Homo-oligomer: A and B are copies of this chain.
Amino acid sequence: MSKYRVLIDANDEKGLVYKVSTIFFEKDLNIISNSEFVDKDNNKFFMRSVVDGDIDKEALHTAIKAVLPQNSSIKVIEPKKKNIIIMATKELHALGDILIRHESGELDANILAVVSNYDKLESVVSKFNIPYITISHENLERHEHENKIIEAIQSYEDVDYIVLAKYMRILTPNFVKAFEDKIINIHHSFLPAFIGANPYKQAYDRGVKIIGATAHFVNNNLDEGPIIAQEVKHVNHAYSWKDMQRSGRDVEKVVLSRALKLALEDRIFVYANKTVIF
């Protein structure tokens, strides 16, 4: 007896809940939790069920597929630790938050490695017996540097997510394509405000009263991928941009860890450059 997550992404039509729940019932599965959402504008149906029982994964998948519209996406997922690789540059806060969560057992993931363009964080990562791979970008063309990273990542099998924990270099479409829908980034602003470099400086110059952070999947357009989670923090005139940066780090790490948790629990659907989150 075990719990499975069933994720359905289909064109909407009458009777989808009926059809899927009939299968669960006929297979004698118990529904632990169930979430649905219909996007009327795009005629899309999303469903995430956690079911409990004596489950034949393939048979369940086939049965559901048979009753849904063609081109539906169906995933039957046995909960288990996912494999992640973290990329960072020089800042510890977001990476450190993940390391501590991992250490305390609250993260349903194996951290395969940390990849960085600097060796600055090696000593702390090594304390946790996690491989640290420094791939300096110095004296390399951007594509050469990225290819080395791709190679390093691909030396691991079954990488589920690549987490950019303040990795401060822009990724090219080539890199993004290699890990489509797998790259989660934390951007240090309330997107779409302050796209690009040094958003805290931009925020300071604009005189905002709130700063924020945004976790999103990475697509080809920098800072324009589907947003997973956002959080904000009030600031005032007495904050220098460095103060905003320091203060913003607390938001960044919380948002990135929240997004990672949602991903590890298979709670995120992506479509139309947006996310549905159950």
Contact code string A35-54 (vs B, CB < 8 Å = 1, else 0) = 11111010000000000000
A178 in contact (CB, < 8 A): no
| Beta-carbon contact of A210 and B212 below 8 Å | yes
A150 in contact (CB, < 8 A): no
Contact code string A1-41 (vs B, CB < 8 Å = 1, else 0) = 00000000000001101100110110010111111111101
- How many chain copies does the complex carry? 4
Q: Which residue of B lies closest to A236 (CB)?
A: B277
Q: How many residues of A contact B (CB 8 A)?
A: 68
A197 in contact (CB, < 8 A): no
A248 in contact (CB, < 8 A): no
A274 in contact (CB, < 8 A): yes
- What does DSSP make chain A's interface, helix, strand, loop or mixed? mixed
| Beta-carbon contact of B106 and A91 below 8 Å | no
The 3 closest A-B pairs by CB, nearest first: A207-B274, A96-B100, A127-B127
| A residues adjacent to B (C-beta < 8 A) | 14-15, 17-18, 21-22, 24-25, 28, 30-39, 41, 91-93, 96-97, 99-101, 103-104, 106, 124, 127-128, 190-194, 206-210, 212, 226-232, 234, 236-238, 240, 246, 249-250, 254, 257, 272-277
